[in-house]
Amino acid sequence: MNQHPYKQILLATEHTDFDSGAERLAFDMAKQCGMPLRVIIPVLSNPEFESSAPELAQKADEAVASKIAALEALAAQAEVKLDVRVRHGAQANEEIVDEAHATETDLIIVRRRGQPGFLANLLVGEMVSKVIRDAKCDVLMVPRMATFWQRHILAAVGEGSAAVNVAEMAGAIAGRCGLPLTLLSVASNTQALEVTQRLNTLKLARARALCPQAHGQVLIGNPVEQMIAVAQESGADLLIVGKHRHNFIPFISGQGTTMQRIAGALAVPTLVVQH
């Protein structure tokens, strides 16, 4: 079996129902790869709150201690060693990104979205979008009902700088797991088809060096619609897309970037790869 491409995994969780899929998948990945799992629990707080309302701060600390105990119990059942860190701050996404940077993390695992708030129709949560925007490593978004991939991996490769990294990471993961891989490229029209096919062939060579079961597919049309259709037809249970600078503005249902719309439409994990 090929070596796993990630060396340091960080699970970001508040241990709510919305985090259950990310926790389950992180435990599975750590166990299968034989590595300890680092966990960050971000706690919204500030010095003014802690000094003016010490009783509430104490209750918050007690709630965090209860969450840590619950996570450690789950980890024991999964036979996974945990290293749990708690970080207090005004923005959860900032604490997650700072912890990832400080620990030289190369993969953050996080929920896809949390409790609906003012922007109730977000397909990818605002906090998660900000983590992806600011993180220097790959980010795996996990819906709460999702499980570890077992059937098929689908990766979107385009013309951007992330395409090569997407192809290589997809090949590494598919090869490691012994799963078939499809590299999908979508041309906007027939005039662009030849260029798109050539680029897909180049990226496919990178993936096949790591996964003999990789094959390429080129279609014409809307990238979001085609990606969703191919994912459903192939039974893909892991999607891999590239990170682009404009991917991270929170959006309301029906709007947003290609990455956000694909991740929000399918109840499977989505891996966002760095460019």
Task: Please report, for the domain that includes residue 239, its CATH number.
Answer: 3.40.50.620
Q: Select from 142, 177, 195 the last residue of a domain.
A: 142
pLDDT in the model for residue 34: 86
Q: Do 133 and 37 belong together in one domain? A: yes
pLDDT in the model for residue 33: 84
Q: Do 160 and 119 belong together in one domain? A: no
CA distance 76 to 204: 40
Q: Do 106 and 21 belong together in one domain? A: yes
pLDDT in the model for residue 245: 54
The DSSP symbol for 109 reads: E
Across the chain, the runs of DSSP E, i.e. the strands, are 9-12, 37-44, 82-89, 107-111, 138-142, 153-156, 181-187, 214-220, 238-242, 270-273
Does residue 116 contact residue 253 with C-beta atoms inside 8 Å?
no
The DSSP symbol for 72 reads: H
CA distance 28 to 43: 25
Q: What's the chain's length in residues? A: 275
Q: Domain range for residue 113?
A: 9-142
Q: Would you place residue 50 in the very low, low, confident or very high pLDDT band (cuts 50, 70, 90)?
A: low
> If you count DSSP H runs as helices and E runs as strands, how many of each does the chain have, helices first?
9, 10
Global pTM reads 0.90
Q: Does the structure show a pLDDT above 90 at 154?
A: yes
pLDDT in the model for residue 113: 80
Place of tokens 């500030």: 46
* Structural domain includes residue 165: yes
Averaged pLDDT for residues 65-86: 94
* Domain count along the chain: 2
